Structure 1
């Protein structure tokens, strides 16, 4: 796992190219996931939560029916987007059905 540090503008830009459905919104890495059902959304959240917990890096997220809103920011570095936020975004997308 990469070292936790503030991500550079170039690293963020490259990640947004790799993961085009993500964006920077209000200083956080942001994505709205849409699933076929509540059960699918919840199942994905459980899997993503396990990955986040392994990293000891936890998302700000909410779930309404088949939608999950995710915001990633690193609080202990001063509420900035970090290398771990970029890595967690990649891991979350890899878990998609």
Structure 2
């Protein structure tokens, strides 16, 4: 999988308002009502990560989940990162709106 140019990344980010590009990766921060909801979302995301064979750099502090996506083998952001970001948004964003 080939690395996307910065212009390609910025164009794709128009469909991902929660995400931004910085330091050769796309990043998002999601806030939940509590730790349990945050950890639950992380558990559900983990299943998609395994399915896509692509794993984020992520951390959580209490109710906040920080995620960074980059394709290490390609040396930057690829279509694979956006595919995982789409799967993450499908899990996380409906919970935020609830």
TM-score by length of 2: 0.87
1:58 aligns with: 55
Q: How many pairs are equivalent?
A: 93
User: Considering only aligned residues, what root-mean-square deviation do their CA atoms show, in Å?
Assistant: 1.2
The range that moved more, 17-26 or 7-16, is: 7-16
The Cα of 1:77 is off from its aligned counterpart by 1.3
| 1:1-97 matched pairs, under 5 angstroms | 4-78=1-75, 80-96=76-92, 97=95
Q: Contact (CA 8 Å) 1:12, 1:86: kept in 2 or not? A: no
Q: List, as ranges, runs of 4+ consecutive aligned residues in structure 1 with deviation greater than 4 Å.
A: none
| Cα displacement (A) at 1:27 | 1.4
Provide, for residues 51-92 of structure 1, a one-character-per-residue CA deviation record: whole Å limited to 9, x for no partner: 0111110000001000010000011112x0011001101110
**TM-score, scaled relative to structure 1:** 0.88
Gaps of 5+ in 2: none
